[in-house]
């Protein structure tokens, strides 16, 4: 009887030791640090692909500026709007603005000057049918830079919106220049980016 108890006690100790060793191995595997550099990149997920390095010798060959302008609709009932601009070649042009006006200008010579303004002229003989008229506008501006290696990159961008209004008895006091911008475009010292200087 005593021999049986001793045998059972010894057997239980052996089983307990094996179980503890097994748990210890599992914990060790779970706590082992993973090396992220060895993780395979999923070719179907482009966000995990390494970004392509920029060419350090690429220089700017051209920059395009796109302007988009939209006046408040009822402003066109009482004003004639005109876009007046001098492009990067020095040519001065005027165009009527009858709704959304959008135009892209290319600059390939540095430095170069540019100017744009939207002018409003009060119409004559207009019957004012509203108590007030919207005199605001929405404008967007973006630039894209083209490089000598055939690639391009986004430059500056901006968005502006105004919802100003004027009572009908003060329409004739609204200032004629609705929008204006003028600047010079040049290259930085490395010639891999542009420098814009507002006038």
Sign of dihedral through CA atoms 72, 75, 80, 85?
Answer: negative
Q: In 3D, which of 118, 95, 94 has the Cα closest to residue 178?
A: 118
Q: Are 139 and 179 in contact (CB under 8 A)?
A: yes
Question: Which pLDDT does position 55 carry in this prediction?
Answer: 76
Q: What is the pTM of this model?
A: 0.71
Domain ranges of the chain: 60-198
Cβ count within 10 A of residue 172: 9
Q: In 3D, which of 146, 160, 164 has the Cα closest to residue 63?
A: 146
Q: Over 90: is that where the pLDDT of 156 sits?
A: yes
Query: How far apart are the C-alpha atoms of 107 and 131, rounded to whole Å?
Result: 44
Percentage with pLDDT > 90 across the chain: 71
Lookup: tokens for 21: 């060793």
Question: Which pLDDT does position 175 carry in this prediction?
Answer: 96
8-47: per-residue pLDDT in tens?
444 444 444 444 444 444 444 444 434 333 333 343 333 3
Question: Which pLDDT does position 54 carry in this prediction?
Answer: 62
Q: Over 80: is that where the pLDDT of 4 sits?
A: no
Lookup: tokens for 188: 């930085």
89-139: per-residue pLDDT in tens?
999 999 999 999 999 999 999 999 999 999 999 999 999 999 999 999 999
Query: How far apart are the C-alpha atoms of 42 and 30, rounded to whole Å?
Result: 24
């Amino acid at each position: 009887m005593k021999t049986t108890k001793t045998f059972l006690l010894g057997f239980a100790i052996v089983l307990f030791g094996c179980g503890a060793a097994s748990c210890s191995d599992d914990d060790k595997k779970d706590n082992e640090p993973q090396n992220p550099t060895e993780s395979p990149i999923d070719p179907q997920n482009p966000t995990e692909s390494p970004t392509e390095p920029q060419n350090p010798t690429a220089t700017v060959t051209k920059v395009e500026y796109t302007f988009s302008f939209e006046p408040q609709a009822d402003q066109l009932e009482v004003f004639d709007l005109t876009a007046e601009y001098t492009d990067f070649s020095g040519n001065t042009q005027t165009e009527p603005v009858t709704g959304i006006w959008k135009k892209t200008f290319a600059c390939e010579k540095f430095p170069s000057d540019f100017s744009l303004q939207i002018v409003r002229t009060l119409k004559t003989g207009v019957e004012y049918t509203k108590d007030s008229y919207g005199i605001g506008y929405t404008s967007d501006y973006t630039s894209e830079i083209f490089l000598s290696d055939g690639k391009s990159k986004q430059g500056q961008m901006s968005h502006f919106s105004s919802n100003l209004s004027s009572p009908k008895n003060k329409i004739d006091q609204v200032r004629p220049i609705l929008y204006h911008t003028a600047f010079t475009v040049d290259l930085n010292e490395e010639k891999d980016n542009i420098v814009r200087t507002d006038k």
